[in-house]
């Protein structure tokens, strides 16, 4: 398994860190208060895998299980819903604290704000979250999905009343399609978690929305984690999680490790270049980790990551598949976690680091040992049940 994993310890030059305050505790608290106003809100479980921790030789292993989030089987709705609400608040001159769920869905707000069309690109989870939030808020949603997206994930989005299509291009091209369509549509708005020059406000709101998950996990853990593993596509989730824990534990932050799919490892490529500039990965990005198949980094989160991530890891598909299987059937006494392909990648990477002698150098560099308290985020459940069964039950790679 060691040959399926590469890494780069972060030695990039630091910046003025101007984006770190986006993920301050006060900003994250605003987002969580907003999410708590939803009748569908509940805190998702934190699975303490004590027997697995003993097996791996670490002190504590906790996995945040986002398969329970709002009944949507993934965390992404946290970002999309918050960004859409912040946009509506700004357009109507209100503070987000005055736009809880019951106000957003009211006839009064509909008369005041009207109806916007929210455009987005997605492999499934983000688009489903945007479509769900738009449906609840009585808005419109148009979703573009990259080639290779599954019919099941498309159907989940269509079921929320959105317009959605699977295109013949990759994720990053779908983002450009969404932006172009929004620019030609009256009251058209792009809701995307990747930021580029001139498009930074909404992605920042999305990152803050993700902070709800990090804040819950921090409270549930009840102690400072020594290590946090988090997956990355464009890097918005990773930047949100790393930003939150850096702000929370300013004097002694955890060691933060970012895990990417090998065919879309834009952050890793940036770390390898070591000059602090972004790198873009192009091509089909054929991987089971569909949620991580993004080749163009979020420039806002990249600034946070290059200042505070300790290590960037590249994982091939077998790493994610191993993570899925081991979480589904953990060590005896532990609670199983149904984790999808992108959700299980960090756990698969951790297992490989702790059990493969080819990773001893990395294990030592990260100081992973019997005193380590490791936090991971399983960001999705079986969002494509047939693919999940093929991998976990049938032993296939997709």
Residues annotated as part of the active site: 76, 123
The CA radius of gyration of the chain, in Å to the nearest whole number, is 20
Task: State how far the Cα of 248 lies from the Cα of 136, in Å rounded to an integer.
Answer: 32
- 260 has which bridge partners? 314
Structure tokens at 181: 């369509």
Q: CB–CB of 264/270 below 8 Å?
A: no
Kindly state the DSSP code that residue 331 receives in the 8-state scheme: S
Q: CB–CB of 76/191 below 8 Å?
A: no
- 380 has which bridge partners? 74
- Residue 63's φ and ψ, nearest 5 degrees, are -120, 120
Q: At what angle do helices 299-308 and 201-221 cross, to 10 degrees?
A: 40
Task: State how far the Cα of 291 lies from the Cα of 288, in Å rounded to an integer.
Answer: 9
Cα torsion through 53, 54, 56, 61, rounded to 10: 10
Element (H, E) at 389: helix 385-392
**Which strands make up the sheet holding 311-315, listed edge to edge?**
5-9, 311-315, 255-261, 227-231, 373-378, 60-65, 46-48
- 374 has which bridge partners? 61, 227
Report how far apart the first and last C-alpha atoms of the chain are (Å, whole number). Answer: 17
- Residues of 31-56 as b/e, b for ≥16 C-beta within 10 angstroms? bbebbeebeebebbbbbbbbebbbbb
Q: CB–CB of 330/301 below 8 Å?
A: no
Quick check: helix, strand or coil at residue 236?
helix
- 60 has which bridge partners? 373
- Residue 182's φ and ψ, nearest 5 degrees, are -65, -35
């Amino acid at each position: 398994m060691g040959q399926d994993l590469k890494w780069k310890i972060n030695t990039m030059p630091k910046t003025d860190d101007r984006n770190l305050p986006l993920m301050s505790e006060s900003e994250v608290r605003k987002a969580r208060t907003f999410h708590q106003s939803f009748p569908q809100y509940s805190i998702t479980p934190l699975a303490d895998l004590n027997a697995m921790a003993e097996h791996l030789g670490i002190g504590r292993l906790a996995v945040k299980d986002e398969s329970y989030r709002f009944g949507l089987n993934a965390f992404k709705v946290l970002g999309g819903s918050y960004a859409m609400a912040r946009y509506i608040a700004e357009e109507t001159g209100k503070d987000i604290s005055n736009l809880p769920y019951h106000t957003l869905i009211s006839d009064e707000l509909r008369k005041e704000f009207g109806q916007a069309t929210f455009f987005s690109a997605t492999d499934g989870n983000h688009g489903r979250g945007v479509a769900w939030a738009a449906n609840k808020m009585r808005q419109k949603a148009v979703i573009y999905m990259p080639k290779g997206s599954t019919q099941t994930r498309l159907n989940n989005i269509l079921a929320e009343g959105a317009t959605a299509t699977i295109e013949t291009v990759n994720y990053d091209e779908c983002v450009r399609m969404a932006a172009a369509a929004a620019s030609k549509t009256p009251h058209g708005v792009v809701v995307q978690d990747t930021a580029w020059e001139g498009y930074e406000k909404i992605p920042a709101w999305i990152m803050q929305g993700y902070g709800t998950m990090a804040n819950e996990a921090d409270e549930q853990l009840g102690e400072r984690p020594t290590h946090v593993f988090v997956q990355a596509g464009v890097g918005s989730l990773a930047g949100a999680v790393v930003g939150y824990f850096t702000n929370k534990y300013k004097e002694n932050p955890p060691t933060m490790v970012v895990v990417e799919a090998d065919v879309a490892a834009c952050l890793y490529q940036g770390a390898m270049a070591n000059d602090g500039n972004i790198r873009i990965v192009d091509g089909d990005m054929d991987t089971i980790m569909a949620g991580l198949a993004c080749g163009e980094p979020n420039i806002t989160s990249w600034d946070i990551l290059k200042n505070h991530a300790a290590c960037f890891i590249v994982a091939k598909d077998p790493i994610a598949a191993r993570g899925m299987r081991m979480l589904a059937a953990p060590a005896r006494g532990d609670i199983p976690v149904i984790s999808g392909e992108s959700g299980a990648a960090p756990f698969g990477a951790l297992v490989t680091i702790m059990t493969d002698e080819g990773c001893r150098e990395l294990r030592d560099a990260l100081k992973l040992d019997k005193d380590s308290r490791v936090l991971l985020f399983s960001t999705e459940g079986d969002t494509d049940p047939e693919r999940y069964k093929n991998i976990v039950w049938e032993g296939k790679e997709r």
